[in-house]
């Protein structure tokens, strides 16, 4: 079996190093200069496959449109994107939680409470599911600022160590879901390149660590 002909979109940033460790441990032909190069498309060492280095939030888009057969991306990004992809493997890295947080003291009761988040779809669905009407305000980052400066009473964001919340005087109020990094596939590629994708997964599966904790 061979992995020939696959294009794999990797998330740049926080999960990149651990992703490359896993791929290398699996014996996949990761280009040697992938960490240092400024190239965004890198052929594997033997030229069998191609890696695309993308912003995490764009990975589901590349995979849904089929310009990448496979993608490596956080569950948070996947759920928020709501794209039509196959989820093949939980890589068990980049573990954190999606949580609701706010100031410890009970905020004043507003007619329409405000929630700031980089994940507006997840936040909207969560509060809708609980029958709570809220106004969700989209922010691109530093979401913890919102309750401190009176933009919103609560936030929905990822929490890993809890340090950012703690240092800003915020506390977790509810956990929404566990997050980890996933391997996803384009639906058409999954059928047309099934042998190569099966082989990719077969190599990767045994090196996925089970014992990591948040």
**Which residues of the shown chain bind ligand ATP in the complex (CB under 6 A)?**
11, 13-15, 55-57, 74, 76-77, 94, 96, 158, 160, 179
Determine if 80 is a binding residue for ligand PRP (CB under 6 A). Answer: no
Question: Considering beta carbons, is residue 129 or 141 the nearer one to ligand PRP?
Answer: 141
**What is the torsion angle, in degrees rounded to the nearest 10, for the CA atoms of residue 11, residue 17, residue 20 and residue 25?**
-150
Ranges of H-type helices in the chain: 16-25, 59-64, 75-81, 120-129, 145-148, 163-167, 187-192, 194-204
Determine if 213 is a binding residue for ligand PRP (CB under 6 A). Answer: no
Please give the full DSSP string across 33-46, using - where no structure is assigned.
Answer: TTTT---SEEE-TT
Asked whether 198 and 13 are in contact (CB, 8 A), the reply is no
Alpha carbon of 122 to those of 5, 86, 175: distances in Å?
Answer: 35, 19, 12
Q: Mark the segment that binds ligand PRP (CB under 6 A) among 15-23, 136-144, 175-183, 184-192.
A: 136-144
Cα 10 to Cα 161: distance, rounded to the nearest angstrom: 24
Which of the choices ligand PRP, ligand ATP, none does residue 94 contact, using the CB cut-off of 5 to 8 A by kind? ligand ATP
Which of the choices ligand PRP, ligand ATP, none does residue 80 contact, using the CB cut-off of 5 to 8 A by kind? none
Cα 87 to Cα 65: distance, rounded to the nearest angstrom: 15
Asked whether 93 and 145 are in contact (CB, 8 A), the reply is no
Neighbours of 54 (CB within 10 A): 23
Query: Considering the complex, what minimum distance in angstroms separates the CB of residue 157 from ligand PRP?
Result: 5
R_g of the chain, CA atoms, integer Å = 19
Question: Considering beta carbons, is residue 3 or 76 the nearer one to ligand ATP?
Answer: 76
Please list every residue from 141 through 200 that binds ligand PRP, using CB under 6 A. Answer: 141-144, 157-164
Determine if 201 is a binding residue for ligand PRP (CB under 6 A). Answer: no
Residue number of the CB atom closest to ligand PRP: 141
Which of the choices ligand PRP, ligand ATP, none does residue 15 contact, using the CB cut-off of 5 to 8 A by kind? ligand ATP
Determine if 131 is a binding residue for ligand PRP (CB under 6 A). Answer: no
Interface ranges with ligand PRP (CB under 6 A): 141-144, 157-164
């Amino acid at each position: 079996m061979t992995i020939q002909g696959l294009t794999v979109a990797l998330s740049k940033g926080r999960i990149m190093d651990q992703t490359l460790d896993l791929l290398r441990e699996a014996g996949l032909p990761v280009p040697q200069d992938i960490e240092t190069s400024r190239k965004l498309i890198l052929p594997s060492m033997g030229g069998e496959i191609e890696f695309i280095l993308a912003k995490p939030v764009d990975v589901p888009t590349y995979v849904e449109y089929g310009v990448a057969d496979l993608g490596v991306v956080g569950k948070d990004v996947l759920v928020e994107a709501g794209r039509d992809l196959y989820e093949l493997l939980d890589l068990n890295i980049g573990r954190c939680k999606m949580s609701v947080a706010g100031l410890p003291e009970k905020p004043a009761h507003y007619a329409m409470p405000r929630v700031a988040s980089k994940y507006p779809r997840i936040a909207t669905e969560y509060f809708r599911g609980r029958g709570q009407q809220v106004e969700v305000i989209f922010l691109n980052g530093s979401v913890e600022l919102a309750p401190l400066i009176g933009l919103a009473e609560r936030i929905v964001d990822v929490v890993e160590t809890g340090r950012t919340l703690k240092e800003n005087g915020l506390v977790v109020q509810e956990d929404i879901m566990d997050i980890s990094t996933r391997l996803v596939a384009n639906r058409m590629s999954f059928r047309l390149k099934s042998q190569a994708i099966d082989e990719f997964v077969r190599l990767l599966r045994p090196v996925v660590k089970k014992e990591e904790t948040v």
